[in-house]
Amino acid sequence: MRFRATSLAALAAIPLALSACGTAPAPEPAPAPPKAAGPEGIEWAGRLCGLVNDFSASQKNLPGVDKSNTAAMKNSVVARLDTASKTADGTVRGLQQLPPSPIAGGDQVNQGIQDGFVQIRDILVGARAKADQVDPNDKQKFTEGMTALQGELQKSTQVDLNSKFGALEKNQQLAEAAKQAPGCKPFFNPAPPQPAPGQPAPAPAQPGQPQ
């Protein structure tokens, strides 16, 4: 069976896409510097980022997959998808419950991000439904069911969350507020990549050496 149950690749791709949100193309130069972000705008931006960051972090800590037998594997995949879909739904609800943005254009940015997470939630719900239908008692049907599930999860690659965050960066006042908000720091300062198991960490660059 070719399905890699330990990876659920489409789910893993979601936090990877989010971690790149801070690397969207720079906005076009403005004729004048943006208006300074007030404390209310900074707090609002931080809450927005915090909801997204919480989802990203949760996807890295989903329940594991038990490959000891087909029944255990099905049940653990269902549990994994159930957790992921509920977390996505919680993110959507949190974004919906944000108060009106004190920064002009912020509500439109929030709506775009909401739309992206609605897509993710619906994909995860659809995948969970397919996982429920997998027959663990027939090897061929089990393989076919897992293949169909994998195809459902592949739809997540079509959700362009980076463009949603690109809209945030194009709003200069909102981007300035986000840069000052603690909840947004993971997007502007992503954690350095970790070495593969058994591989040494890269040595820090010496002065005068290329980065």
Using one digit for the tens of pLDDT, what is the confidence trace for 120-152?
Answer: 999 999 999 999 999 999 999 998 998 888 888
pLDDT band at 72 (very low <50, low <70, confident <90, very high): very high
**Out of 72-76, 81-85, 205-209, least confident range:** 205-209
Helix (H) or strand (E) holding 146: helix 139-153
Selection from 135, 190, 130 nearest residue 154 by Cα: 130
**Does residue 205 have a pLDDT over 70?**
no
Residue 96 identity: Q
Separation between Cα atoms, residue 93 and residue 61, nearest integer Å: 21
**Dihedral angle at the C-alpha atoms of 180, 187, 176, 87, nearest 10 degrees?**
-90
As a whole number, mean pLDDT of residues 73-97 equals: 93
Average pLDDT value over all residues in the chain: 77
